[in-house]
Chain A
Amino acid sequence: MTTQQQAPEQALPPLGSVGFLRWLWRQLTSMRTALILLFLLAVVSIPGSILPQRGTNPLRVDQWIEENPATAPILDALGFFDVYASPWFAAVYLLLFISLIGCVLPRVGVHLRALRTPPPRAPRNLNRLPASGSFVSELTVDEVLTSAAGQLRQGHWRVRSSEGEWVAAEKGYWRETGNLVFHLSLILVLVGIAVGGLLGWRGNVVVREGTGFSNTLTQYDAWGAGRFVSADALAPFSFTLEDFRVDFERGEAQRGAPREFEADLTYRAAPGGEEVSTTVQVNEPLIASGAKVFLVGHGYAPHVIVRDSTGRVVFDDTVTFLPQDGNFTSTGVIKAPDAEPALGFNGLFLPTAALTEELGPHSVFPAPDYPGLFLSAFTGDMGLDDGSPQSVYTLDTSGMEQIGLESLLPGDVWTLPEGQGSIEFVDLERWASFQIAHDPGKELALGASLAAMIGLMVSLFVRRRRIWVRAQPADDGGTLVHVGALARSEGTDVESDVVDLMSRLGGPDVSQERAPQ
C-alpha cells in the first residue's frame, strides 16, 4: 500500500527548506501520523467528560471554580472548562483532517488510474503464491483458458488474457472505493458541523401556562448563535402555552421520576397567520419555520395577588419558580416595586410540602399533592432605581427590611403586619421550558454520516484479490493447469477462490498444495 509508513530511520528531515516542507507534508500525511493523531483525539476528549463544561452546564462550572480556587484559574485559562472549543482540541482535529485530505486526495487519483489498468501479468511460478493448485485437464490449452476467462467474467472478476499462456483476473476494487468514500464523507460531516456552528442558533425560554412566546431575541432567557447569524432575520413565529401536563412515577421503583410530560400549544407561523393547535412532547418537537421547538423542562408557577397598604392590587400574575431538586422544591421571587411601600418576597414553593428538623421546609414528591408556598416578606428599596438590570429570580434585600415569614396553601391570604398590605396564593399553574434550535448543517452531517457508513461497510466487507491461471500442454497428453491467487487486503482468504475456480475448470475439488483449514 502506497500510504504505508517508511522505516523510522529514513525519516530524518532533509536540510533545504523546500525539501523540509515536503518532508513535513509526507510525515503529516503518513499512516503513522494519522494513527497518533487519532490517539491524541481520544485523549484530548477525556477532560471534557470529567470536568464540567460551559457549553453544557455553566452553573456547575461556576460552582467547581468556587470550590477549587487553587487549580481552577489555571484550568480555566487553558480552556479546560470549554474543551471542545479550545484551541488545542481544534488543533488536533484540524491536523487530523489536513492529514486526511493530504492522504486521501492523492489516493483518489491512484485509484482512478487503477480502475483503468488491467490486472498484472501472471507470475512465472504460480506455486509460490499463498494459495495455489494444479491439475491435468482433458481440454486443450485454449479451451482451458477460454473457459477460465469466461468463468471469471461471470464471477465479476476483471479479466486479462494472453493468447495461449495465461489468464489474469482481479476483483474487489470496491474496497478502495468504499474506503475513499468513507474518508471523504468524514470531511463532509465536519463541513456539516461547521455549517451548523456558523449559521445555526439555539435559545431557551420559560413559558408559563396561558402566556405566549414570539421568536425574537429579547424573548429568550438564554441564546447562542453562530457567527453568521443575524438576530433580525429570525423566523417570526409565535406560540402560546395553553396547557401543560406531567405525570410522575408513584411506584416504589424510581419514585418521583418523570413518566410523561407534554405541552399543548397554539402556534402561528407569522403574525396574523393561521392558528394551529399542536402538542409537544419529549422526542416530538414542533417544527416551526425551519427551527425545532423542544420541550426540555418544567416547573411550577404559583398565581399570587399582592395588595399594598392602600388595598390597591399591585401584582396579579403567575410567578416562575425554579426547581432546586428532584422533588421540585422550588425557589422564586415576587416583586411589587410600585406598592406603597414597595414590597418584595423571597419564596419557596413545595409541591408536596414537608417540614423536618434538619431539612427545614422541603418537598417530598414532585407532583402537587400538598402544595405549600413559604414566603419571606421585605419592604424598602429593592435597588431597581439605579437602572442596572436585575434578574427576575433574585431579590436584592440589602436595602430592605424583613417584615415577616408565612406559609400559605392555595386560597390562603396573608395579611402583612402593620397594615402594609396582603398577599394571596390564588392557585397553581405550571411553566414549561423550551429549547428552540435551528441547525442548517444537520442534514448534510446526517447524509455524510450515512455515506460514510456505507463506504465503511463496503471497505470492510469487500475483499480485494487477484487470481491467475496458466495452462500448458502436459508431458503425457492433456493440459497442465496451474491456478494461483493473492490477497490484496488484510485477512482475506484466497484459498477458496483457488479451490472454487479449479473445480469449475473440471479439476479436483480440493487444492492439492494445501488443504483448507
Chain B
Amino acid sequence: MTSVQLAEASNAAVYASMITLTLAMVAFAVSFASGRRRVTVPSTSAGQQPGRRAANIGMSLTWLSFLLLLLGVVLRGVWAGRVPWGNMYEFSITAALGVLGVYLGMSIRRDLRWLGLFVVIPTLLWLGLAITVLYTEAAQLVPALKSYWLVIHVSAAIICFGAFTFAAATAGLSLVRGRAERRADSTEVTGWLSRVPDHERLERLTNTVIAFAFPLWTFAVVAGAIWAENAWGRYWGWDPKETWAFITWVIFAAYLHARSTAGWRGSRASWIVLAGWVSFLINYFGVNIFVNSLHSYSGM
C-alpha cells in the first residue's frame, strides 16, 4: 500500500468503528428502553428479559468497533512508521481503544450489558472530537518521544485511562442509582435505573476496577519519571503534566483510603473517583493544549 492509501485506510477504519459504535449505541438504547418493568438487578433468569437481544447485538457491535478501531490505530502506526502516539489525535483514538478494551475485557467474566450505553456514548463523543478537532496528519516523533519508555509509559497510561473512565461510569451510576434507591425508599426503583445494578454492586465494581488501575497508574507515573530522568536529567520537575499525574495519583490514593474510613465509604468515595477522573482529563486536554509544558505534544 502507498502511504496515502494507508492513511485513508486508517481513517476509514476509524470512521467504520464510529459507525458500528453508533449502531451499538442504538442497540443498547433499545435494550434500555424496552420493557420498563420493575427489575432490580439483571437477574440470573434474565434470559427472558425483553431487550436482552438488543443488548447482545450491542455487545457484538461494540466488539466489532473495537476491532475496527484497533485496525485504525495499527494502520496509523504503519503509516507513520512508529508507535501511533505522536500527537493528540493519535493519543485520543488509542485512548478510546483503551476504554472499549477495558470494558470488553471486564465483560468477559461478568454481565456488563447494562453498562454498554454509558461506555459507548462517551467513547463516540470522544472519537468524534478526535477526528474533527484534534485531527493531525502523521508526522515523525519529536526527539524526546523517541524512547522505548514511550511505549511502556503511554500504553500503561492508556489502559489506566480506560479503567478510570470505566470506574467513573460505574461510580457516577452508583450515585444516581443510590439517590433513586433512597427516594424509592422501600419500594423498588423504577424507570431506566431499574436496569442497572443496585448501588452497592456498582460500588464494588468501581472498587475492583480501581484496585487494578491504581497500581498500573503508579507504574505509569514511575515509568514516566524514569523516562524524564533519561531525557531531561531529572526524574521529577513539577512540570504541569507531571503535577497533574501526581494529583490524579493522590486523589485515587485518597479513594483507596476512603473505602476504609468510616463515613467516607459509598457516595463520598464515588465522588472521589469522579474527581480523579476529571483530573485525568484536565491533564490530557488542559495541559496538552493550554499550558506551556515540556509535555505539550498535541501537534496542534
Query: Which A residues are within 8 Å of any B CB, using their own CB?
Result: 1, 4-7, 31-32, 34-35, 38-39, 41-42, 45-46, 48-50, 53, 55-57, 60, 83-84, 193, 202, 249, 251-254, 257-261, 281-285, 292, 294, 296, 435-437, 439, 442, 445-446, 449-450, 452-453, 456-457, 460-461, 490-491, 517
Q: Out of A261, A292, A456, which one reaches B215, CB within 8 Å?
A: A456
Could you tell me if B257 and A38 are in contact, using CB atoms closer than 8 angstroms? yes
Could you tell me if B238 and A56 are in contact, using CB atoms closer than 8 angstroms? yes
20 contacts between A and B (CB under 8 A): A35-B264, A38-B253, A38-B254, A45-B250, A49-B238, A56-B238, A251-B137, A253-B138, A253-B139, A257-B139, A259-B142, A260-B143, A285-B233, A292-B233, A437-B234, A439-B235, A445-B235, A453-B222, A460-B211, A460-B212
Whole-angstrom CA separation of A228 from B267 in the bound complex? 49
Query: Which residue in chain A gives the minimum CB-CB distance to B208?
Result: A491
Could you tell me if A437 and B233 are in contact, using CB atoms closer than 8 angstroms? yes
Q: In this assembly, does B287 line the interface, its C-beta being within 8 Å of a C-beta of chain A?
A: yes
Contact with A along B266-300 (1 / 0, CB 8 A): 00000000000001000000010001100000010
**Which of B226, B247, B299 has most chain A Cβ within 10 Å?**
B247
Whole-angstrom CA separation of A285 from B230 in the bound complex? 7
Q: In this assembly, does B34 line the interface, its C-beta being within 8 Å of a C-beta of chain A?
A: no
CB distance from B280 to the nearest CB of A (A): 12
Query: Which B residues are within 8 Å of any A CB, using their own CB?
Result: 44, 87, 136-144, 146-147, 149, 204, 207-208, 211-212, 214-215, 218-219, 222, 225-227, 229-240, 243-244, 246-247, 250-251, 253-254, 256-264, 279, 287, 291-292, 299
Q: Which residues of A contact B215 (CB under 8 A)?
A: 453, 456-457, 460
Could you tell me if B231 and A294 are in contact, using CB atoms closer than 8 angstroms? yes
Main secondary structure of the interface of B (DSSP, over half): helix
Could you tell me if A42 and B143 are in contact, using CB atoms closer than 8 angstroms? no
Given the known A-B contacts A55-B238, A449-B222, are A460 and B233 also in contact in the complex, defined by CB atoms under 8 Å?
A: no
Could you tell me if A460 and B237 are in contact, using CB atoms closer than 8 angstroms? no
CB distance from B204 to the nearest CB of A (A): 5
Query: 9 nearest interchain CB pairs?
Result: A253-B137, A437-B233, A282-B143, A253-B139, A38-B254, A49-B240, A254-B139, A49-B243, A294-B233
Q: Out of A38, A84, A450, A453, which one reaches B238, CB within 8 Å?
A: A84
Q: Which residues of B contact A7 (CB under 8 A)?
A: 262
**Which of A56, A436, A437 has most chain B Cβ within 10 Å?**
A56
Whole-angstrom CA separation of A457 from B257 in the bound complex? 15
Whole-angstrom CA separation of A457 from B256 in the bound complex? 13
Known: A4-B262, A49-B243, A460-B212. 17 other contacts (CB 8 A): A5-B261, A6-B262, A34-B257, A39-B251, A45-B243, A45-B250, A49-B240, A252-B137, A254-B87, A254-B142, A259-B141, A292-B233, A296-B232, A445-B235, A449-B218, A449-B222, A456-B215
Could you tell me if A460 and B214 are in contact, using CB atoms closer than 8 angstroms? yes
Given the known A-B contacts A45-B250, A260-B143, A294-B233, are A254 and B136 also in contact in the complex, defined by CB atoms under 8 Å?
A: yes
Q: Which residues of B contact A57 (CB under 8 A)?
A: 292
Q: Out of A1, A49, A60, which one reaches B287, CB within 8 Å?
A: A49
Q: Out of B149, B250, B260, which one reaches A41, CB within 8 Å?
A: B250
Q: Out of A4, A39, A253, which one reaches B260, CB within 8 Å?
A: A4
Could you tell me if A491 and B207 are in contact, using CB atoms closer than 8 angstroms? yes
Q: Out of B137, B149, B204, B260, which one reaches A31, CB within 8 Å?
A: B260
Could you tell me if B233 and A202 are in contact, using CB atoms closer than 8 angstroms? yes
Whole-angstrom CA separation of A277 from B17 in the bound complex? 51
Q: Out of A56, A60, A282, which one reaches B237, CB within 8 Å?
A: A56
Q: Which residues of B contact A32 (CB under 8 A)?
A: 261-264
Whole-angstrom CA separation of A422 from B48 in the bound complex? 95
Could you tell me if A259 and B140 are in contact, using CB atoms closer than 8 angstroms? yes
Q: Out of B44, B143, B207, B232, which one reaches A517, CB within 8 Å?
A: B44
Q: Which residues of A contact B204 (CB under 8 A)?
A: 491
Could you tell me if B250 and A283 are in contact, using CB atoms closer than 8 angstroms? no
Q: Which residues of A contact B230 (CB under 8 A)?
A: 283-285
Could you tell me if A56 and B239 are in contact, using CB atoms closer than 8 angstroms? yes
Query: Which residue in chain B gives the minimum CB-CB distance to A292?
Result: B233
Could you tell me if B140 and A249 are in contact, using CB atoms closer than 8 angstroms? yes
CB distance from B86 to the nearest CB of A (A): 8
